[in-house]
Structure 1
């Protein structure tokens, strides 16, 4: 039986422009539904079928037996792996296992799967390393990557001006957020005016939250009612609140909202926004700044793009529209140039 999370109101009135915020459910070690989530959900478990046929033609395999797309070693990319990282023969990758089809737990409720894990597998293969996937919470990956516990993060992380001060990036996917609502709704979300007075669920500390807070400031500057932001402790609670009408909208990573639109009968996508709003961003593999691993990952990704395995992975999870023509390495030194030159601050998660 579903239990409605406890409700308490949190009033934040320091800066006048901040929105009214309602907190639902105690936030635990994992964050509320995301990305630039992705954090905080469990996957299809508890007796769910091992495959799901979606209306977009994709058959999602959610079993532990993934039969992933595998590739051979790329000697040139493998030669770039720093000796200290490659000496144990493993690539230790962090992911948050928070949202289908990005990164989530399989039907055994313990095996991390999804497009993020599949792409990490391609990179590990190309670098001649064994993939070691470690599930962590969204708030923990930065510190654990800085401490050396994780060598790379594949978890819908967006490139931004704050992060390039601490990390290097290898881009691999476009980054968008989607608004979802009940299928019976008539919402068409294009900007701040369209969310005035609505109740919107969002992940804490995510780029979604950053966008909504900025939009609320715009609304308050116009004398309009801000949206009420609601935070839930799990993906299941978030979607239950949306489907039952306790919230009007949910803002989450576009791959996740389109997955639900294509596999459920009660929800639909009603808006799309770049995760780096008001600018643009990209999703990227994240590594410790200056440790030399990012160029090797970038070359591994480009090798996978060239041989077609990258496209096969995205097709497998229904994400071909987010494919990039090439991977690029982004650091503090070159941030703001090239295809991601419009990238701004904020989180994709």
Structure 2
């Protein structure tokens, strides 16, 4: 995702949050990390056991670890992008999937997480200047960005299909399964381009795909649960947010399949981002891999309904979105 504003619902959750670094209370001295805390019901709270791994901590450059902190950049001002990053119930604590992963990684490294929450553009200014030692903010790995940054992947960059709970239809990674359906999409988006291309393929095969547009997110999901449309094609984290908000209600929806935001030929990846060659990225990747191997990563994804974006391993500078991709 090129900007984290691609969500189903924009909430004004960041009132009172400035750009100054704030010490974080998510990492406890007893070797546990709180995730889903202060999350307004968007994430499921959990306490995860995460102890410092000395071998990985030793990989962190002295210049970064000398103050005992890991400064983490977020690009979530002014409105936040649930379930990934927003301000919690106390109106000051950064919460959501992205800051929580930052807390977990910092715990593996034996460092105290400290957050700099800013606008999307200033997130990168902070990385460039060294104010942010690493960014956890739904940043897509691209070949263009690799000229200035290093990446450690931790989530698939996916689009998803939302359908009413109880609807047995699944995408199955085959556009032909869309034949005869009515599917909503946001106008002017990457997912609209993909859906229109599939519509044209189906038309050439003598089949139909009826694309629908709605004025806002509530109208779209009301149309799903009422049966007016079959589903919605949009950013996967936004669908995860809707799932968290509608579970156990008559308006419940579920995820019926995902598709790479980079298209058919490449799996897009979301990655932790550091200034190029600052020496930190291997330690970040190794910390994420420790979390994957020991179960905390799976619990973190589950807390935010992001299971469909799991990666098998964190890779340093994996293939990214090509420069030709617009």
Query: Above 0.5 in TM-score?
Result: yes
- SS class of match (1:315): helix
Instruction: Show CA shifts across 1:26-79 (max 9, x none).
Output: xxxx97443xx8x9544599xxxxxxxxxxxxx965458966425222112111
Map 1:237-252 to 2 at 5 A: 238-243=216-221, 251-252=233-234
Alpha-carbon distance between aligned partners in 1 of 2:313 and 2:209, rounded to the nearest angstrom: 42
1:99-157 C-alpha deviation (Å, 9 max, x unpaired): 33322222233322122222111111111211012223334323332232221111222
- In structure 2, relative to structure 1, the CA distance for the partners of 1:271 and 1:41 (3 Å cut) is farther
**Partner residue of 2:261 out of 272, 275, 292:** 275
Which consecutive unaligned segments of at least 5 residues does structure 1 have?
1-29, 46-58, 233-237, 337-342
Indicate yes or no: 2:210 matched with 1:210.
no
In structure 2, the partner of 1:175 is 157
Residue 181 of structure 1: CA displacement?
6.3
Q: Deviations over 1:241-264 (max 9, x none)?
A: 42466x977654324313413532
- What does residue range 23-102 of structure 1 map to in structure 2 within 5 Å? 32-34=5-7, 41-42=11-12, 62-63=38-39, 68-97=47-76, 98-102=80-84
TM-score, normalised by the number of residues in structure 1: 0.63
The match for 1:292 is 279
Q: Which residue of 1 aligns with 2:251?
A: 266
Q: Give unpaired runs (5+ residues) of structure 2.
A: 16-34
CA gap 1:310/1:219 in 2 versus in 1, 3 angstroms: closer
Moved more, 123-132 or 67-76: 67-76
Distance 1:262 1:118, change over 3 A: closer
Query: What is the RMSD computed on CA atoms of the aligned residues?
Result: 4.2
Q: C-alpha separation between the residues in 1 aligned to 2:316 and 2:120?
A: 22
Matched, 1:201 2:186: yes
d(CA) in 2 for partners of 1:196 and 1:312? 34
Is residue 165–residue 252 contact of structure 2 (8 Å, CA) maintained in 1? yes
Highest RCO, 1 vs 2 (Cα 8 Å, sep ≥ 6): 1
Equivalent pairs, count: 280
Aligned positions of 1:132-143 closer than 5 A: 132-143=114-125
Q: What SS class does the counterpart of residue 107 from structure 2 fall into? A: helix
Deviation of 1:169 after TM superposition, in Å, equals: 0.9
* Pair 1:70–1:104, CA change in 2 (3 A): farther
C-alpha deviation, 1:195, in angstroms? 11
Q: Does the Cα contact within 8 Å between 1:281 and 1:344 map onto a contact in 2?
A: yes
